[in-house]
């Protein structure tokens, strides 16, 4: 009789857990996956996929407006929020089915229930069943964080509920200045809502390059989105179907929806981590792991947002795959968390990879900056007041490109390709030697020949 019921028990049916389960099963492991809600996790069910679908839909209004400059005369148009939501739900259900099928095809078993650790090798299911496992992988992801409770917090929605609203709000207040807040600001504004963004910091997109932060804010404000910084929501009152949002500055805003998007926290509560001896990282509240995604318990691992390392779906997938290769494939693989490309599907879109100017200047003695800000070709005919930002951060000593930052249409698509060059440690000379692809916005990346700034850090005496 086998010592354990399964070789691997995965808690969480999101991107990281599913990848780990499939790869481990392909190596011949007996695998069980527990998911208490829906297969697919944050990204598929309530994150990047439905968000991107909403972003694409919200662009249509702008395309219609821009069409006149190209000779199109488009008559009266209408938008139906309920149709968008229904079609999105249909696509998400299809993807959920695909995730489920792929796991089952690999030979792993799915149990649709909550799973809690009883000890380092025992999992108790909500059905009452107990399962023993040689290895356990925790991949429970994260959840929206509303921050400190304020009066009226019960009236506030998160990004989760935003995907299921019965109707499009005419006016919405969104607290937050990160990517989720800005993406939803663009979505609602694109569909015709009056949007106000409230953020406690001095400017939106904390942690991004300063030029990116300024450019995105300017472009969003051009599109009619109100951005209030240095301020927080102190209270939310409800009057029938309407809300009054009171700010720390003393002012107030009327709306028919209030959304908080002020960060996410790791899903660690109620998992039985203490009983199993799994430690929490005091610095970020996620499960403490080493470079192999191993927790403080030798046979228990964790990947994805629950570790609060780099909360991106492709990173969770890479971590899950590396875990399965290491433990079940006997091919030790560590994930390199450096130089990970990132996109913000705000409007305008942001694509970034590598170091910001500020980070580079802190790490390198000589930093050259190449930057351009221009009107895209489409705007010359559409008449839209918009500009594209492209920026390269270069090590002035070695000529290596340390970072690339783009704001504008297709920024994410461009950045994915540029990320390969940055990861390969390409130099500015390599960029310069590449023939431009004309007429594109991205050709600017290989035609910027003169630095717009050169920084030299003086050695301490």
Q: What is the pLDDT of residue 365?
A: 96
Q: Does the residue 419 lie in any domain?
A: yes
> Could you tell me the CATH number of the domain that includes residue 442?
3.30.390.30
- In angstroms and rounded to an integer, the radius of gyration of the C-alpha atoms of the chain is 24
Domains: count for the chain? 3
Residues 353 and 240 in one domain: no
CB-CB contact of 389 with 406 (8 Å): yes
- Residue 217, classed as helix, strand or coil, is helix
Q: How far apart are CA 326 and CA 18, in angstroms?
A: 16
Q: Does the residue 1 lie in any domain?
A: no
Residues 60 and 88 in one domain: yes
CB-CB contact of 444 with 374 (8 Å): yes
- Residue 17, classed as helix, strand or coil, is helix
Q: Does the residue 339 lie in any domain?
A: no
Phi, psi of 138, deg, nearest 5 = -100, 120
**How many CB atoms lie under 10 A from the CB of residue 48?**
18
Q: What is the pLDDT of residue 459?
A: 58
* Positions marked active-site: 438
Residues 291 and 310 in one domain: yes
Residues 254 and 272 in one domain: no
CB-CB contact of 433 with 343 (8 Å): no
Residues 179 and 276 in one domain: no
Q: Does the residue 340 lie in any domain?
A: no
Q: What is the pLDDT of residue 460?
A: 46
Of 230, 247, 262, the residue that ends a domain is 262
Q: What is the pLDDT of residue 271?
A: 93
Of 217, 237, 262, the residue that ends a domain is 262
DSSP 306: G
Of 214, 241, 262, the residue that ends a domain is 262
Q: Does the residue 254 lie in any domain?
A: yes
**How many CB atoms lie under 10 A from the CB of residue 125?**
16
Q: What is the pTM of this model?
A: 0.94
Torsion of CA 95, 98, 99, 102, to 10 degrees: -160
Domain range for 432: 348-453
The full DSSP string for 221-258 is: HHTT-EEEES--EEEEEEETTEEEEEETTS-EEEES-E
Q: Does the residue 89 lie in any domain?
A: yes
Residues 375 and 228 in one domain: no
The full DSSP string for 145-205 is: ---S--TTGGG-B-HHHHTT-SS--SEEEEE--SHHHHHHHHHHHHTT-EEEEEESSSSSS
Phi-psi region of 278 (alpha: psi -120 to 50; beta: other; left: phi over 0): beta
Q: String of b and e for 392-413 (b: at least 16 CB within 10 Å)?
A: bbbbbeeebbbbbbbbbbebbe
Residues 26 and 128 in one domain: yes
Both structure tokens of 440: 């594109």
Q: How far apart are CA 274 and CA 288, in angstroms?
A: 13
Q: What is the pLDDT of residue 46?
A: 87
Q: Does the residue 449 lie in any domain?
A: yes
Residues 131 and 118 in one domain: yes
Q: How far apart are CA 187 and CA 104, in angstroms?
A: 35
Residues 140 and 285 in one domain: yes
Q: How far apart are the first and last CA of the chain?
A: 70
Residues 316 and 239 in one domain: no
pLDDT in tens, the chain (461 residues): 479 999 999 999 999 999 999 999 999 999 999 999 898 888 888 889 999 999 999 999 999 999 999 999 999 999 999 999 999 999 999 999 999 999 999 999 999 999 999 999 999 999 899 999 999 999 999 988 877 889 999 999 999 999 999 999 999 999 999 999 999 999 999 999 999 999 999 999 999 999 999 999 999 999 999 999 999 999 999 999 899 999 999 999 999 999 999 988 999 999 999 999 999 999 899 999 999 999 999 999 999 999 999 999 999 999 999 999 999 999 999 999 999 999 999 999 999 999 999 999 999 999 999 999 999 999 999 999 999 999 999 999 999 999 999 999 999 999 999 999 999 999 999 999 999 999 999 999 999 999 999 999 875 44
Bridge-based pairing of strands 242-247 and 233-239 is antiparallel
Residues 215 and 278 in one domain: no
Torsion of CA 197, 202, 204, 207, to 10 degrees: -150
Q: Does the residue 195 lie in any domain?
A: yes
Q: What is the pLDDT of residue 269?
A: 92
Torsion of CA 264, 270, 276, 281, to 10 degrees: 20
Residues 130 and 167 in one domain: no
């Amino acid at each position: 009789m086998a010592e354990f019921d399964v070789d691997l028990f995965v808690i969480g049916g999101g991107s990281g857990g599913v990848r780990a389960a499939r790869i481990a099963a392909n190596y011949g492991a007996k695998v069980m996956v527990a998911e208490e809600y829906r297969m697919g996790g944050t990204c598929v069910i309530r994150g990047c996929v439905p968000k991107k679908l909403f972003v694409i839909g919200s662009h249509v209004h702008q395309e219609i407006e821009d069409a006149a400059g190209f000779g199109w005369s488009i008559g009266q148009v209408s938008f139906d929020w309920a149709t968008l939501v229904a079609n999105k739900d249909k696509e998400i259900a299809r993807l959920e089915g695909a995730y489920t099928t792929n796991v089952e095809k690999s030979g792993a078993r799915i149990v649709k229930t909550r799973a809690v650790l009883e000890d380092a090798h025992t999992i108790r299911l909500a059905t009452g069943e107990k399962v023993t496992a040689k290895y356990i992988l925790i991949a429970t992801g994260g959840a929206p964080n509303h921050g400190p409770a304020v009066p009226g917090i019960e009236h506030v929605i998160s990004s989760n509920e935003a995907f299921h609203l019965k109707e499009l709000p005419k006016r919405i207040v969104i607290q937050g200045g990160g990517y989720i807040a800005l993406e939803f600001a663009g979505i609602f504004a694109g569909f015709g809502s009056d949007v106000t963004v409230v953020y406690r910091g001095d400017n939106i997109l904390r942690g991004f390059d300063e030029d990116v932060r300024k450019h995105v804010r300017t472009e969003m404000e051009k599109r009619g989105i109100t951005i209030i910084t240095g301020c927080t929501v102190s209270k939310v009152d409800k009057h029938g179907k309407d809300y009054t949002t009171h700010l720390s500055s003393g002012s107030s805003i009327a709306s028919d929806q209030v959304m908080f998007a002020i960060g996410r926290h790791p899903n660690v509560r109620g998992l039985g981590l203490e009983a199993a001896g799994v430690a929490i990282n005091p610095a970020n509240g996620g499960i403490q792991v080493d470079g192999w995604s191993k927790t403080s318990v030798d046979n228990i691992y964790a990947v994805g947002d629950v570790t609060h390392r780099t909360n991106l779906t492709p990173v969770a997938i890479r971590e899950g795959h590396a875990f399965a290769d290491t433990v079940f494939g006997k091919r030790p693989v560590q994930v390199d968390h450096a130089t990970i490309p990132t996109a913000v599907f705000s409007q305008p879109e942001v694509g970034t990879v590598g170091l910001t100017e500020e980070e580079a200047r802190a790490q390198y003695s000589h930093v050259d900056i190449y930057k351009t800000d221009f009107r895209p070709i489409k705007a010359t005919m559409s008449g839209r007041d918009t500009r594209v930002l492209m920026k390269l951060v270069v090590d002035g000593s070695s000529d290596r490109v340390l970072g690339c930052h783009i704001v504008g249409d297709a920024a994410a698509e461009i950045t994915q390709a540029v990320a390969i060059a940055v990861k390969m440690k390409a130099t500015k000379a390599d960029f310069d030697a590449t023939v431009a692809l004309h007429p594109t916005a991205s050709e600017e990346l290989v035609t910027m020949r003169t630095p717009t700034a050169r920084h030299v850090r003086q050695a301490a005496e």
